[in-house]
Amino acid sequence: MDETKENVSKKKTVIRKKPIAKKKTNTRKKTVRKKTATSQHRAAVDSRQALSDRLKQDLDATKDALRHARIAAGEELKLAKKAAQDEISVLKTQLNAALKREKKLMKIGEKKIHKILVAGEKWEKKQLVNIKKATEKAIRNIKKK
């Protein structure tokens, strides 16, 4: 049994070296100056002032834009009113012309009606005369027999 143990190859043990920890270098800490309350207050005032200035500029720009828009709208309204008045005057002239034509047509119609009535009355009188003559003739013929 001893022989079998000797024939078995022994594994070599590997020794690992641990890395050596590097020595820490002293880094100089930066000293940060803490802001004092007055400087913080001043910074707050400055930023608030800057914000209010920016808002005032925006407000002024908005007012200018609204003023220009109002002026432009007023001009457009004036132009629209002028166009509407021109259109109204054209329509009035057309209406007056149509009314004149209508009056002329009415007069022509009335003249025609009057002429037709006169002609009708003449025809009626003529027919009455013809009827009287025919009746007188018929009466004479009856008396002769």
pLDDT tops 70 at residue 36? yes
Percent of the chain with pLDDT over 90: 65
115: in domain: yes
33: in domain: no
43 Cβ neighbours under 8 A, 6+ residues apart? 35
3-state secondary structure of 42: helix
Q: What does 81-108 look like in DSSP terms, one character per residue?
A: HHHHHHHHHHHHHHHHHHHHHHHHHHHH
* Tally of domains within the chain: 1
Name the DSSP class of 50.
H
Give the model's confidence band at 89: pLDDT under 50 very low, under 70 low, under 90 confident, else very high. very high
3-state secondary structure of 11: coil
Task: Read off the pLDDT of each residue in 45-52 and give the average, rounded to a whole number.
Answer: 94
Measured CA to CA, the distance from residue 50 to residue 52 in angstroms comes to 5
Q: Give me the domain span that covers residue 47.
A: 39-144
Measured CA to CA, the distance from residue 103 to residue 107 in angstroms comes to 6
47: in domain: yes
83: in domain: yes
Measured CA to CA, the distance from residue 74 to residue 68 in angstroms comes to 10
Which pLDDT tens digit goes with each residue over 97-133? 999 999 999 999 999 999 999 999 999 999 999 999 9
92: in domain: yes
112: in domain: yes
